[in-house]
Amino acid sequence: MVYRSHVNGILRLKDVGQKVTLIGWVQRKRNLGSLMFIDLRDRSGIVQLMIKDPTKVPDVKHEYLIQVQGVVTKKAVANTSLATGEIEVEVTTFKVLNEADVLPLIVDDVTDAGEDIRLQYRYLDLRRRPMQDILITRSKIMQAFHVFFAKHDFTNIETPLLTLSTPGGARDFLVPSRLTPGSFYALPQSPQIYKQLLMIGGLERYYQIARCFRDEDLRADRQPDFTQIDVEASFLTQDEFLSFMEEAIREVFKTVKGIHLPQPFPRLSYETAMALYGTDKPDLRFDLPLSSIPLILKQAYEKAGFESSNLKGLKLPNAGGNLSRKVLDEWVTFVKPFGIKGLVTFKLEQGQIQSSFLKFVAPESVQELSRLLDLKVGDVYLVASHADLNVLNTAMGILRTKAAKLLNIIDEKKMAIAWVTDFPLFDTNEEGHLVAAHHPFTRPQDQHLSILNTQPKKVLAQAYDLVINGYEAGGGSMRIYDKEVQKQIFSLLGMTEEAIQKKFGWFIQAFNYGTPPHGGIAFGLDRLTMILTGTDNIKDVIAFPKNLKMVGLLEGTPNTVETKQLDELSIQVKEKK
């Protein structure tokens, strides 16, 4: 006998009268004495079994694996909450294939288990329909990318997982070499250098669903090993390349979820994004822009003796009823770790602007301030200051999102997508030295090449991020293909010729042989899956993730190894002091 003739979730009224063989797990059981009903679950869904004489079948419990034969019959009363709810299977043969111990978690759409238990018994957690739906969506996203890139003549090429360590950015995971004691491979943080070499190699259009590794502190949207849709193409301008990638993303969203995204995607410069939203990955599902402050308020801040070099405002329409003193005090506490000492609040009540801060505003300027702030009854206007504009933007950007959640103005069904472009080419580290804002192979904008050496902080990059609902879903840049420009960049980053040769010599040598103009992007598969499935936790979209301590609770990783293995690798473990 075959294991099954049908999967459970496809049976409908058209199958009434048909003999079927089914297999699955016991989702729930109801024994009424003269009748017993079992909800039988497999990946396709649930079907109800009806046993007319419960005494003739073995006693079964939750998650027992059973096989039955029977006849599909029409229910007297349909269950409208179930896809198979109009039918049931009257069982004629019943067999227990495998028993199950008492479960450490509830296997159902909603479970009572904490995250650690779910990760420790991940194989049980994966039986739950929401988890299976997420992983099926993830698979469909990959399939849609494969179809799109194959249609447009991209070649799917794998790059090495054992590669060269290039210090800088996140820490590398290192792999010791047994045959060369004292030497190490690194697991790739991305296929960056290899995909550029593929362009130099004349492949022209490459993509890969690439596994990447970064040894960094974890958070809700980060894992040590993750997956990106890696893309590189030659002979396309930035505008052409972005249009191409828009087409790919539109195709994926339409294929996987039937979502139709705008054409073209909106674009924001980095400067505009920071000024209006305080972040380079703004959530555009709601309209709460940050605003510059009228001169009257700046003068009031100076009069009060407060920090006034940088001021930002946030107007919250019709928020008065939601912003109690307690909430405002919580927000003040919330922004303090950013160095924001307080929030000044303005409201309009009985036609007059109200604020304890008005004592620092000249009486003749109060009416003008009211006009400039454009407050309506119920509106609240918040002001903060900080000496560092970047710190102020970050704090107010996060507060903007916090306010939107409190006011319940985020449209959870909306997909707000945009490119953020025109990033600075350089940033500065704590010592005040120039560092690459993206990576050292990012091409400067052509109009800024003339000021590269003289005004490097003003140079903008041909770099871009794709932002969806406040997540950076992808990022990339056009690449330097001129070896003289590459030398300039390395020089500005303070790299000696010896350092260049040690870190990138084998890569830079390839620039001597007719490098084509090229650029690329990497889309985060994990983040795209989070967005399309509505979860805010990256562990939900990965079959076997690590926890925030980078521990695999299921298999117990990382673990110690035998001394013999360490000796073979010429490694001695020192206890951490």
**Domain definitions of the chain by residue range:** 8-98, 131-269+417-542, 286-407
CA nearest to 284, candidates 377, 411, 393, 173: 411
Q: Please tell me the distance from the alpha carbon of residue 360 to that of residue 297, in angstroms, as a whole number.
A: 9
* Residues 1-45 pLDDT 10s: 689 999 999 999 999 999 999 999 999 999 998 999 999 999 999
pLDDT tens per residue, range 484-497:
999 899 999 988 88
Residue pair 190/210 in contact (Cβ under 8 Å)? The answer is yes
pLDDT of residue 436: 92
- For 8-98, CATH number out of 2.40.420.20, 2.40.50.140, 1.10.10.60, 1.10.10.10 equals 2.40.50.140
350 has pLDDT over 80: no
pLDDT in tens, 387-415: 889 899 999 999 999 999 999 999 999 99
Query: For domain 286-407, which CATH number applies: 3.40.50.300, 3.30.1360.30, 3.40.228.10, 1.10.10.10?
Result: 3.30.1360.30
- Categorize the per-residue pLDDT at 167 as very low, low, confident or very high, splitting at 50, 70 and 90: low
What percent of the chain lies above the pLDDT cut of 70?
99
Grouping H, G, I as helix, E, B as strand and the rest as coil, residue 107 is: coil
- Spatial contact of 243 and 264, defined as CB atoms under 8 Å apart: yes
Distance CA 237, CA 250 (A): 20
Low-confidence winner among 139-153, 202-216, 286-300 (lowest mean pLDDT): 286-300
Q: Do the domains 8-98 and 286-407 sit in the same CATH topology, yes or no?
A: no
Q: How far, in Å, CA of 114 to CA of 122, rounded?
A: 12
SS3 letters across 250-306: HHHHHHHHCCCCCCCCCEEEHHHHHHHHCCCCCCCCCCCCEECCCHHHHHHHHHHCC
Computed over every residue of the chain, the mean pLDDT equals 93
What pLDDT is attached to residue 169?
Answer: 65
More confident: 368 or 520: 520
What is the fold, at CATH topology level, of the domain defined by 131-269+417-542? BirA Bifunctional Protein; domain 2 (3.30.930)
Q: What is the pTM of this model?
A: 0.92
pLDDT at 561 over 80: yes
